[in-house]
Each structure stands twice: as C-alpha cells, then as structure tokens.
C-alpha cells in the first residue's frame, strides 16, 4: 500500500468500508478491527483492502476486545484509536483508548451522549432541555414506574438505536404489546420512562474538533408515529424558521459542551416542542439512515471525509445547502416476495442518488417494527421540500413488488 502523505497511524474499531477508504485518502495508515459475525466476508474483504491489516475479534467479549486494542496500538505505534460504529461495543474501546492516551474523547464524555439516562440527567441538572424522566432497571420494573409516572409516556432502552424498543404507552394494552416486542428482541434493560414530547422531530449532525462544535446540518424526520416511531423518511436541510433553527443548534451544542465531547461526529435527535427544543437522544457517531449522504447531496460536504481531515489538522467547514435531499424508506407488506420490478429504472433517474432493495423473489420481507426491518430506501435531490416529497412518492410507486402473506411466526 502506498502512502502519498502521512497524517498518522490510526486504529479503527468497527469501521465501515468507506470510512477506512476516506481515512487513507486523508493520509492515515489504518489498522481495522471487526467482529466477523457482524458483516459478510465479502464486506470485510473490502475493509481489509484499504487497511494495513484487518484484525478480528468477538465484540461481545469486552476483555478480549480491550486486549486486542491495547496490543495493536502498541505493536503498530498508532497515534489515535477511533470507534465510529455501533454504541454497543464503543464503551470498552474508548475506555481502553483513554487508558492508553490515544482517545480524542474521554470515556465519560462518550457515555454521557450514548447512555440515554445519563444524558437526560446531565441536561436536567444543567436546566437545559429539561424533560421528566424515571429509570427502570429491568422489564418487571417498568409497569410500577409507569403507574407512578403517569400516562402517556415514552418507554425505551437506555442503550439502543434505530427505534429498537421505543414505544408510546397510553394504555395497559400498549404496555403489554411493548413488553412482548422487547422480549422478542432480547432487550433486557435498563429502560427509561419519559414524558411524551409533542412536536416535529429533527436530527442534528455535528462535527467537533478540539472541543469546538460545528452544526453541519439539521434534518427533518418523518416517522410512523406512535406507538413505535419507526423512521419513514428524512429531508435535508430541514425547512425551519431561522429562530427555531438557532434554538436547536444552541441546545445541541450545549449538550456537547456539558458532556465534554471533544472530537468527532455526533448525531442528536430533537423534538421542537411548544416550549422549545428538547433533546430526545444523542450518539457519539455518524447518523444512520443515509443522513451523511443527504448532507453531501444538499451541500457538497462529505461529512465522513471531514472527520479524518479534521483529525489531520485541516480546517473543515460545511457550506450552506444549495438544494434539498430526501430519503424515503420502503415499507412493503410483510411476506414472501413473489416478484419485484422498477429498481433498475429508479436507479437510472438523474435525481436519484441511491437505491437499496436487498431482496429478490423467494425472500421473506419482515414486518417493519424498527429501522433494521425496513425494506430499503431511495435517496433523491430536489429544488424544494415539496418536490422532494413528490419524488420520494414517485420512488415508492416505481417499486412494484408482490408479496404473499405467510404466518406471523415465519416472519
């Protein structure tokens, strides 16, 4: 592997293929760590192609993961350790990197963003984005907590993403349905119970370098609504009144300051209530749902590449948006897929930037209950939010799929 310029040596845990590639393009030599259970061998081959070496371990074994991070950091004399993937394995990696003096963030700062209860306690103590909240250590405690807290209320795991285990509970039947869903998903808690926030939802992407926070953009979210709030689409930039946009930016940067977060991307979800912005949750990583692509389509700013350019000492600033970008998620009837048409025609359209439909005839389409069980997506650009909505609607219509219902237990 050739190195046209050297920004340093980087150990990345759970790096997506394009992140390794963009880190190398920024001048870093990269060693990558993955759990082979989490990605197909062909995908890991792509990661390895951009890496000095691909190291494999079980992310569920925290001691082994920490030992591998320490050994690789010593052997390869790395300058930084980064984890930009799932929160589930982030805590032990950042803790080990901090102990080695190789993490741009403290483990405490990352926990204060990723752990929903810790984040809420931090904000409430500071009088920022105050929201009533209670914690339940396990599933059995949720019902008595709700009885004292009052309904309606939102219940969710303290450590999860992608709408997993989130529900608005208004009745005993809602609670029973939610409990069945989290049991089936193997979510054991702890959980938090929060007041139900009313208002439109937004995602806020930030990039922090040296403790200074840049709000890269605000994205308007569309969800299925209660009880599960599964995200169905987004538009970027969010069509917002300037005063509301500034209030959202100020609230999010206040959270980042309070947590002590110093470097990297963060993805923060906000509801704009009648009383002002209220943070729903935050994660010390890039946003999912192709939001970085929406930012790039709308502004020309590659947020993923900017992470490594900032780490290399470059000044990275996101320009203003010059058009809108939207993603719409396919949500087809669950069952066995008999036929599908329109995917190739959709990809060929000039205003379509990405189409993902990973199913073929004979595959079973799951019932959509969270972000992981949606059926794919299309990303489009448009000169206005209204035209973006029209193009997403046309993309949904263009995907012509026929499914046959099958028993629920087979989904």
3-state secondary structure the chain: CCCCCCCEEEEEECCCHHHHHHHHHCCEEEEEEECCCCCCHHHHHHHHHHCCEEEECCCCCHHHHHHHHHHHHHHCCCCEEEECCCHHHHHHHHHHHHHCCCCCCCHHHHHHHHCHHHHHHHHHHHCCCCCCEEEECCHHHHHHHHHHHCCCEEEEECCCCCCCCCEEECCHHHHHHHHHHHHHHCCCCCEEEEECCCCCEEEEEEEEECCEEEEEEEEEEEECCCCCCCEEEEEECCCCCHHHHHHHHHHHHHHHHHHCCCCEEEEEEEEEECCEEEEEEEECCCCCCCHHHHHHHHHCCCHHHHHHHHHCCCCCCCCCCCCEEEEEECCCCCEEEEEEECHHHHHCCCCEEEEECCCCCCCEECCCCCHHHCCCEEEEEECCHHHHHHHHHHHHHHCEEEEECCCHHHC
Residues near 371 by beta carbon (within 8 Å), at least 6 away in sequence: 161, 162, 163, 164, 230, 231, 288, 289
Q: What are phi and psi of 268, to 5 degrees?
A: -125, 130
At 107-139, the pLDDT tens digits run 999 999 999 999 999 999 999 999 999 999 999
Least confident of 56-60, 390-394, 402-406: 402-406
Question: Which pLDDT score is estimated for 1?
Answer: 41
Block residue for tokens 């930009």: 84
The Cα–Cα gap between 109 and 260 comes to 5
Give pTM, 2 decimals: 0.93
Block residue for tokens 């880190």: 23
The Cα–Cα gap between 202 and 270 comes to 5
At 241-290, the pLDDT tens digits run 999 999 999 999 999 999 999 999 999 999 999 999 999 999 999 999 99
Instruction: Show the tokens assigned to 10.
Output: 């980087």
Question: Which pLDDT score is estimated for 408?
Answer: 74
Question: Which pLDDT score is estimated for 162?
Answer: 60
Instruction: Name the residue with higher pLDDT: 229 or 76.
Output: 76
The Cα–Cα gap between 278 and 197 comes to 8
Res 4 pLDDT > 70: no
At 321-372, the pLDDT tens digits run 999 999 999 999 999 999 999 999 999 999 999 999 999 999 999 999 888 8
At 188-226, the pLDDT tens digits run 889 999 999 999 999 999 999 999 999 999 999 998 877
The full set of domains in the chain, from first to last, is 8-103 (3.40.50.20), 132-195 (3.30.1490.20), 198-322 (3.30.470.20), 325-410 (3.30.470.20)
The mean predicted confidence, pLDDT, of the chain is: 95
CA distances from 129 to 125, 157, 253 (A): 10, 20, 12
Instruction: Show the tokens assigned to 192.
Output: 């938090």
**Cβ contact 133:120 at 8 Å:** yes
Residue count of the chain = 411
Banded model confidence at residue 161, pLDDT cuts 50, 70, 90: low
Res 165 pLDDT > 90: no
């Amino acid at each position: 592997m050739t190195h046209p310029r050297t920004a340093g040596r980087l150990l990345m845990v759970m790096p997506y293929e394009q992140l390794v590639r963009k880190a190398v393009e920024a001048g870093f030599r990269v060693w990558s760590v993955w759990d082979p259970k989490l990605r197909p061998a062909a995908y890991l081959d792509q990661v390895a192609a951009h890496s000095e070496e691909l190291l494999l371990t079980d992310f569920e074994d925290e001691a082994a993961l920490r030992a591998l991070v320490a050994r690789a950091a010593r052997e390869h004399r790395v300058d930084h350790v980064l984890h930009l993937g799932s929160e589930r394995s982030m805590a032990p990696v950042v803790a080990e990197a901090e102990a080695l003096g190789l993490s741009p963030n403290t483990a405490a700062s990352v926990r204060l963003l990723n752990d929903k209860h810790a984040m809420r306690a931090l904000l409430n103590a500071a009088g920022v984005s105050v929201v009533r909240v209670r914690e339940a250590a396990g599933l059995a405690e949720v019902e008595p907590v709700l009885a004292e807290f009052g309904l309606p209320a939102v219940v969710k795991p303290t450590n999860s993403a992608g709408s997993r285990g989130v529900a608005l509970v208004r009745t005993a039947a809602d609670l029973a349905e939610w409990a069945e869903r989290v049991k089936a998903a193997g979510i054991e808690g702890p959980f938090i119970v929060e007041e139900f926030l009313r208002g439109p939802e937004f995602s806020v992407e930030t990039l922090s370098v040296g403790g200074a926070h840049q709000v890269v953009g605000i994205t308007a979210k569309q969800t299925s609504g209660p009880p599960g709030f599964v995200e169905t689409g987004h538009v970027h930039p969010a069509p917002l009144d300037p005063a509301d946009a500034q209030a959202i930016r100020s609230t999010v940067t206040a959270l980042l300051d309070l947590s002590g977060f110093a470097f990297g991307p963060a993805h923060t979800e906000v509801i704009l209530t009648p009383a002002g912005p209220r943070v729903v949750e935050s994660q010390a990583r890039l946003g999912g749902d192709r939001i970085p692509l929406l930012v790039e389509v709308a502004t020309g700013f590659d947020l993923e590449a900017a992470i490594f350019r900032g780490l290399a000492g470059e000044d990275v600033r996101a320009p203003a948006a010059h058009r809108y970008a939207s993603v719409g998620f396919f949500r087809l009837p669950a069952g066995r897929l008999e036929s599908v048409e329109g995917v190739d025609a959709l990809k060929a359209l000039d205003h379509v930037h990405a189409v993902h439909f990973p199913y073929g005839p004979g595959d079973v389409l799951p019932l959509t209950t969270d972000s992981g069980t949606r059926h794919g997506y299309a990303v489009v650009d448009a000169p206005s939010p209204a035209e973006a909505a029209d193009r997403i609607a046309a993309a949904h219509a263009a995907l012509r799929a026929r499914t046959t219902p099958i028993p629920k237990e087979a989904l």
